[in-house]
Amino acid sequence: MKPLRMAMIGAGRMGLAHARILAGRFECRVVRVVDTVAQNALRVAAEVGAEASTALEDAFKPDIDAVIITTPTPTHAEMVEAAAQAGKAIFVEKPIALSLEAGRRAVEAVEKSGVPCQVGFQRRYDPAYVRAKELIEAGALGRLEGIRLVGRDPHPPGLEFLKTSGGLLVDMGIHDLDSARFLLGEVSEVYAIGGALAEPHLAQHGLFDTAVATLRFENGAVGTLEVALRTAYGYDIRCEVLGEKGRLHIEQDLRPNLWRYDLQGGHFERPRNFEERFAEAYAAQMVAFARNLHAGRPLYPSVRDAWYSLRLAKAAQHALETGQVVRVSEYGEL
């Protein structure tokens, strides 16, 4: 089979990262890069040897097999709808929408058109999460009883982004909440508190930079979640799953695998950001997209799956903003 012809829609930080990975694969060619900011499109296009364009319709021309959508979150759903209508295979960044209604329309467009579609929850491709899932499914933990999730970014994004991102637990916490669903199953109830602890000025915009939550799962398990936008000691993503037979613990503290010892004790460096922590996962995710598409195999995770992670994130964000215990099922079903 010939290489798939791909178009990037969005040429920011994530678009560039995805394009670089795809550019090295024999299953595909990145042939076009579209961004409303010409400079962005040109820069990414030059790096991967593609054409640049500022016109969205160029991504949907007949010579294109698949699109990679990394535009700002508020536009994800409409981009997915347009790509589905154009019959293109889709990779779209998380979250798939800011509202459940927009997300629902995206799911319907994809499922009605039958185009393959994968959503960018890269942790599902991280070797540690994959291995944890395998061990859980093999019964290593027995009946599942709980989870502990920590997601902390080193620095908050800009205020303008924060105002339109859907909130702390939708934009960022959705990664951890998706892991909760991936590893333990559906959440039935969530309670959350938080504050603008690291960046007090966010409070005047009704924004939070820190949240902690309890999660109750449909199977009876209970868990905790902590999400923060600013972390004094850098990036910190952890996940523990508890079961009747033991515990799995995911953490990546060392980068590189080098310890330094002096009279003050032992010291090690750590991943500073998601690019360093999840480099392998980002590559594996995009390689899976190219390979599976090329081989005609199903893509994963699906847009339907992603809608349920959005639903949970919206419920958690609502809990955080209102101080109420929120039942997730009140947010409807697909």
> Is residue 191 within the footprint of its own copies (CB under 8 A)?
yes
Contact segment (CB under 8 A) with its own copies among 51-59, 99-107, 141-149, 158-166 equals 141-149
> Is residue 150 within the footprint of its own copies (CB under 8 A)?
yes
Q: Tokens for 240, please give them.
A: 């523990």
> Is residue 155 within the footprint of its own copies (CB under 8 A)?
no
Look up residue 250 and give its amino acid. I
Return the DSSP state at 140.
T
What is the smallest separation between the CB atom of 319 and its own copies, expressed in angstroms? 10
Peptide bond into 62 cis (omega under 30): no
Taking the least distance from each CB to its own copies, the nearer of 112 and 245 is 245
Residues of this chain, 26-65, that bind its own copies according to CB under 8 A: 26, 47-49
Taking the least distance from each CB to its own copies, the nearer of 48 and 66 is 48
**Which residue among 87, 139, 142, 206 contacts its own copies (CB under 8 A)?**
142
> Is residue 267 within the footprint of its own copies (CB under 8 A)?
yes
Q: Tell me the Cα Rg of the chain.
A: 20
Taking the least distance from each CB to its own copies, the nearer of 49 and 87 is 49
Return the DSSP state at 63.
T
**Which residue among 5, 43, 61, 148 contacts its own copies (CB under 8 A)?**
148
> Is residue 263 within the footprint of its own copies (CB under 8 A)?
yes
What is the smallest separation between the CB atom of 245 and its own copies, expressed in angstroms? 5
**Which residue among 37, 55, 193, 334 contacts its own copies (CB under 8 A)?**
193
**Which residue among 234, 291, 304, 331 contacts its own copies (CB under 8 A)?**
234
Residues of this chain, 91-120, that bind its own copies according to CB under 8 A: none
Among residues 98, 73, 77, the alpha carbon closest in space to that of 310 is found at 98
Q: What is the layout of strands, in order, in the sheet containing 117-119?
A: 51-53, 28-34, 4-9, 66-69, 89-92, 117-119
> Is residue 23 within the footprint of its own copies (CB under 8 A)?
yes
Among residues 176, 13, 179, the alpha carbon closest in space to that of 93 is found at 13
Q: Which residue has the tokens 């390979």?
A: 291
> Is residue 288 within the footprint of its own copies (CB under 8 A)?
no
Cα–Cα distances (Å) from 329 to 95, 168, 312, in that order, read 19, 21, 9
Question: What is d(CA 322, CA 320) in angstroms, rounded to the nearest whole number?
Answer: 6
Contact segment (CB under 8 A) with its own copies among 60-68, 105-113, 134-142, 166-174 equals 134-142
Question: What is d(CA 60, CA 31) in angstroms, rounded to the nearest whole number?
Answer: 12
Question: What is d(CA 87, CA 147) in angstroms, rounded to the nearest whole number?
Answer: 39
Question: What is d(CA 27, CA 91) in angstroms, rounded to the nearest whole number?
Answer: 15
What is the smallest separation between the CB atom of 24 and its own copies, expressed in angstroms? 2
Contact segment (CB under 8 A) with its own copies among 5-13, 177-185, 208-216, 291-299 equals 208-216
**Which residue among 218, 245, 297, 334 contacts its own copies (CB under 8 A)?**
245
Question: What is d(CA 66, CA 30) in angstroms, rounded to the nearest whole number?
Answer: 9
Question: What is d(CA 269, CA 280) in angstroms, rounded to the nearest whole number?
Answer: 18
> Is residue 251 within the footprint of its own copies (CB under 8 A)?
yes
